[in-house]
Amino acid sequence: MDNVLLVATMDTKSREVLYLKACLKEAGIPVLVLDAGIKGKSPVPVSINREKVARAGGKTMIEVQGMGHEGKSLEVMINGAIRCAQDLYRQGDISGVISLGGSMGTTLGTGVMRSFPVGFPKVMISTMASRDTREFVGTKDILMLHSVCDISGLNRITNRVLHNGAMAMAGMMQYPPKSLYLGKPLIFISTLGTTEACVQNVRDHLEKGGKEVVVFHTVGAGGKAMEEMLLEEDVRALLDLSLHEITDHIFGGDYDAGPARGSVALQKGVPTILVPGNMDFIVTGPINTAKQRFPNRSYHSHNAAITAVRTARNEMETLAKVIANLCNETRGPCAVFVPMGGFSAFDSKEGPLYDPIAPELFAAALKKALKTESSLHLLPYHINDPEFAAALIQALEKFTGSL
Amino acid sequence: MDNVLLVATMDTKSREVLYLKACLKEAGIPVLVLDAGIKGKSPVPVSINREKVARAGGKTMIEVQGMGHEGKSLEVMINGAIRCAQDLYRQGDISGVISLGGSMGTTLGTGVMRSFPVGFPKVMISTMASRDTREFVGTKDILMLHSVCDISGLNRITNRVLHNGAMAMAGMMQYPPKSLYLGKPLIFISTLGTTEACVQNVRDHLEKGGKEVVVFHTVGAGGKAMEEMLLEEDVRALLDLSLHEITDHIFGGDYDAGPARGSVALQKGVPTILVPGNMDFIVTGPINTAKQRFPNRSYHSHNAAITAVRTARNEMETLAKVIANLCNETRGPCAVFVPMGGFSAFDSKEGPLYDPIAPELFAAALKKALKTESSLHLLPYHINDPEFAAALIQALEKFTGSL
């Protein structure tokens, strides 16, 4: 059985850490403790001490303590902890990372965890798990366990919660997943619920043809995760069906995946089909906020917290230019497919954001900005029409040379 | 080995559910599937079918489908699923709940999980785990596993993530925690970091004296969890040292734990010591927002997202009346201890929110509104002074009749 790495601040949490370690040993899991505490020495010996962690972060412990800024000291220790953890991983010494803590401990523990690939077991027992966890979880599969009470002393609550966290890790380490998809060509697709009918058609067809399909939900974190994995995995083709995160990045919507969205696959040379799916709307907060921020538009209130705001016609032209630029700079095969009948379920004859002129303006701007028209395909269908899906499948077949 | 309950929508996620079930079986965990899908029938037999779930929610399946409002239909199915799950639990048929899904599936799965006590294994594999999880996790110890990509089809990502979620549950079920604290008198304490020195003094003393101490962090969810557990557990005494959530409830701060905060122990008759700890500030967002919402105050910027705003003197008088009313209506022993030297680390001579007049006004208003002065103790110390902690310990000893 491999080791689990327990990332800890032994100056403040040694009692709770020793209990967690005892639980893991109960399940037969050997533990390496990494101490990144800044305030004081660990009361017991650890596998990787804080001096070593500080040095891996580029400073001595005395330098770290002299920084006079808790946030900056923590940053050095996180960077050091990541380096130590990755060294152990490369040497084959650890098969999981577990941690426990409040706001500082969670920043430290999840900072280390986010440096590991998807599938590698990660458990964070935290007081910070019942709130916005985006900065902690990011684009990774971190198991966040809410501690309910403070992780401060041992009692009937921390006893159960720490034990459960340890055993969740033990279970994952005892039964690692088998790789079921070796050898199948891998295809990535991006979507939202409003382009789901198209995805289902394409996915079913590809899977029946022996492809492996991974679908990403373009709500910000989804697009970011997709771009990260495009770098890591050997992806045969990308169907970027929901470029909507670009809309939100440019016009200040909530589903923003950063400035690199859309460029990673093209820069790596992954064969890519771009579709302006869901670019007909900007996602923002409650309806009243939406009306203030984007006045005089069509709106669709998805629920109390989320409103879809119709993209204006001049904004559609801006988006067309962005897509053209992406396409013009690609290092691999690339094509743009435009569904002239509407870009999402909202942008359809029955939908709340329908505007039949917008696709025309979008297509005209795209045509003008594209270096080569051969990559442009204007199809007289709605994005969720089966005929549109059929055209995408045909194009993917060409790109991947099979099916 | 007991069963795990797998809460699912079999109309949309049957493939992923069957894989999750196979993973659990690999670890020797028998599975009961509860289907709460509204749109269509399960393609395979399940243990608890959707007709049964709908009926447990008070409707027929046809009535649920005829409601024409997805949110309301879901509510019926959640209530039905909770009732079915609790029946199984009472009969001793299940020892864990697991689920998977997007926004609807997560609402359903965690809705069932929140009806179970802390310590009962709960795993939610979700696309919604890297964002605000408060409405899902609430005050419970739900293990949230971020799925990274959509839970839509099986591929190298969903394969690993679903397998890890299943094995986390298997580990928890195979090694249930032992109750280490049987027979020790249980004491609850509320705090924030700004009253930590006081808590450590009190806690160390109580633990050395053979007491079991549970500490709650009063950031909204913490106070709510404490009140829920006060109802469930046999608590010998409560030291409500951080009544700050009442401040935020009344004046619109971020750490609001609802209107019942402070009343549960007193209504149940649990011996309680009330301390106005951290009532010297209201917690709100970034410094600019704080200045807009609460102009002309002292401020302390805790970090970029959190600002502590000094409570005004007239607000302190309002708070004193609220505490007096709580105390006047108690069914058990109750006392108020006021640290006249300051209510938190911020409200000290070295702190950013110090106001030596505020405790005087607070004490005067309290004296006027309290039915009996014998429960009032005005001490000439700062809340974090060892002398104040010593006085609290002495009072707790009286209440619990020991130490």
- Residues B320 and B388 both lie in one domain: yes
Would residue B179 count as lying in a domain? no
Number of A/B CB contacts below 8 angstroms equals 231
- How buried is residue A46: exposed, middle or buried, by Cβ count under 10 Å (0-12/13-18/19+)? buried
ipTM entry: 0.93
Per-residue model confidence (pLDDT) at position B403: 40
Residues of A in Cβ contact (< 8 Å) with B286: none
Same domain? A227 vs A373: yes
Considering only CB atoms, which chain B residues are within 8 Å of A191? 150
Task: Please tell me whether residue B132 adopts helix, strand or coil conformation.
Answer: strand
Q: Is A7 part of a structural domain of the chain?
A: yes
Q: Does B141 touch chain A (CB under 8 A)?
A: yes
The residue-averaged pLDDT of A95-102 equals 97
- Contact between chains at B147 and A130 (C-beta distance less than 8 A): no
Which of B26, B104, B130, B137 is most worth mutating to test chain A (most A CB atoms within 10 A of its CB)?
Answer: B130
Looking up residue B195, the CATH number of its domain turns out to be: 3.40.50.12030
Q: Do A149 and B175 touch (CB under 8 A)?
A: no
Is residue A351 located within the same domain as residue A210? Answer: yes
CB contact under 8 A, A156 and B191: no
Q: Measured between CB atoms, does A126 come within 8 Å of chain B?
A: no
B40 vs A: CB within 8 A: no
Nearest residue in A to B196, CA atom: A152
Predicted local distance difference test score (pLDDT) of residue A17: 98
The residue from B122, B153, B174 where one domain ends is B174
Residues B243 and B390 in one domain: yes
Of B141, B157, B172, the CB nearest to A118: B157
Q: Which domain covers residue A295, as residue numbers?
A: 186-400
Of the pLDDT bands very low, low, confident and very high (cuts 50, 70, 90), residue A403 is: very low
The answer to whether the CB atoms of A141 and B160 lie below 8 A apart is yes
Query: Is residue B180, in this structure, part of any structural domain at all?
Result: no
Kindly state the average pLDDT of the residues A314-324: 97
A343 and A228 within one domain? yes
Asked if the C-beta of B221 comes within 8 angstroms of chain A's C-beta atoms, the answer is: yes
One domain, residues B8 and B95: yes
Residues of B in contact with A179 (CB under 8 A): 156, 159
**Pair B200, B283 in one domain:** yes
Domain membership flag for residue A382:
yes
Chain A residues close to B237, C-beta within 8 Å:
none
Window 249-288 of A, Cβ < 8 Å to B: none
What does B279-291 look like in DSSP terms, one character per residue? TTEEEESSHHHHH
User: What was the pLDDT predicted at A402?
Assistant: 57
The average pLDDT across A289-317 equals: 94
A129–B171 C-beta distance less than 8 A: no
Three-state DSSP class for B346? Answer: coil
Q: How far apart are CA B76 and CA B18, in angstroms?
A: 25
Strand partners, A339: A379
Whether A7 and A47 map to the same domain: the answer is yes
Asked if A181 lies within 8 A of B164 by C-beta distance, the reply is no
Contact A156 B233 (CB under 8 A): yes
Strands A306-310 and A281-284, sheet pairing? antiparallel
What CATH number corresponds to the domain at position A84? 3.40.50.12020
Q: Identify whether B34 is part of a domain.
A: yes
Examine residue B181 and state whether it is found in any structural domain, yes or no: no
Q: What pLDDT does residue A71 have?
A: 87
pLDDT in tens, B145-177: 999 999 999 999 999 999 999 999 999 999 999
**A181 belongs to a structural domain:** no
Note whether A164 and A301 are same-domain residues.
no
Q: Is A186 on the interface with B (CB under 8 A)?
A: yes
Q: Which of B130, B153, B174 is the last residue of a domain?
A: B174
Identify which of B27, B179, B212 has the shortest CB distance to residue A175: B27
* Domain identity same for A15 and A89: yes
Q: What pLDDT, in 10s, does the model give residues B352-401?
A: 999 999 999 999 999 999 998 889 999 999 999 999 999 999 999 988 77
| Together in a domain, B160 and B192 | no
Nearest to A191 by CA among A266, A285, A117, A255: A255
Residues of A in contact with B216 (CB under 8 A): 149-150
Is residue B350 located within the same domain as residue B213? yes
Q: Which of B108, B139, B174 is the last residue of a domain?
A: B174
Could A149 and B222 be called an inter-chain contact, meaning their C-beta atoms sit closer than 8 Å?
Answer: yes
Residue B357 distance to chain A (closest CA, Å): 32
Classify B100 in phi/psi space as left (phi over 0), alpha (psi -120 to 50) or beta.
Answer: beta
Domains contained in chain B, number: 2
Report the percent of chain A where pLDDT is more than 70. 99
Q: Does residue A180 lie in a domain region? A: no
CA distance A329 to A321: 12
Chain B hits for A180, Cβ within 8 Å: 154, 156, 159
Residues of chain B below pLDDT 50: 403
